[in-house]
Amino acid sequence: MTREELKNIFKVLVNVYPNFEVSSEKLNIWYEFLKDSDYQSVLNNTKEYVLSNRFPPSIADLNKKRESIPPYYDDFIYDINAGEDW
């Protein structure tokens, strides 16, 4: 994520949460923790967060990782004949 992308996220947060204060120091701190994160993922987390929370988010709220289901998982869940080979 770039600083400009983080500024875009801050713009969303300032417009949704009037008490969300932005400063250059805050931008620097948040950037330090979010710079290795994927912008689209953080933006999606921001959208989800603002739809269900009345208070401004923390860094952890926006940087949460989604658990993904392994591609082979479906093979074991829906195998109707599991155990039939005995």
Instruction: Supply the pLDDT for residue 64.
Output: 82
Between these two residues, 78 and 56, which has the higher pLDDT value?
56
CA distance linking residue 17 with residue 7, whole number of Å: 15
Structural domains in the chain, sorted by start: 3-62 (1.10.8)
Per-residue pLDDT tens over the stretch 16-67: 999 999 999 999 999 999 999 999 999 999 999 999 999 999 999 999 876 5
What pLDDT, on a 0 to 100 scale, did the predictor assign at position 44?
A: 94
The helix or strand, by DSSP H or E, that contains position 30, with its residue range, turns out to be helix 24-34
Q: What is the largest CA-CA distance in the chain?
A: 67
Distance CA 48, CA 6 (A): 16
Between residues 54 and 83, the one the model is more confident about: 54
58, 24 Cβ separation under 8 angstroms: no
Predicted confidence (pLDDT) per residue in 66-76, tens digit: 655 555 555 55
